[in-house]
Amino acid sequence: MLTGSKHRQVVLFNNLVSFTSSRERAGEFGDYILATRVPTAKIFFNCGLLPGVLKGEDEYLVIGGVYDIAISTL
């Protein structure tokens, strides 16, 4: 992590990152939830693009970069 406080960080993701739009689904993957706003140009794939693919997790594949992250617990 680059900079920030206990509940906010600026993070550099240097690869393809998987996010979900469902807070409940995100909680299934650990005790911390990372929330961010992603520019449309950085979205590589969205589950709504192809019917029946990756539907279970409301998944978004996002191109890496520097993101302002809000950290919360369940």
Closest listed residue to residue 69, CA positions, set 42, 32, 44: 32
Q: For 22-70, what is each residue's pLDDT tens digit?
A: 888 888 888 888 899 999 999 998 877 777 665 666 788 999 999 999 9
Beta strands 43-46 and 59-73: pairing type?
Answer: antiparallel
Q: Which of the 8 DSSP states describes residue 26? A: H
- Confidence at residue 67, expressed as pLDDT on a 0 to 100 scale: 94
pTM of the model as a whole: 0.73
Answer whether residue 20 shows pLDDT above 60: yes
- Confidence at residue 54, expressed as pLDDT on a 0 to 100 scale: 59
Answer whether residue 1 shows pLDDT above 50: no
In degrees, to the nearest 5, what angle opens at C-alpha 19 toward C-alphas 46 and 73?
Answer: 150
- Spatial distance between the Cα atoms of 35 and 21, rounded to a whole number of angstroms: 9
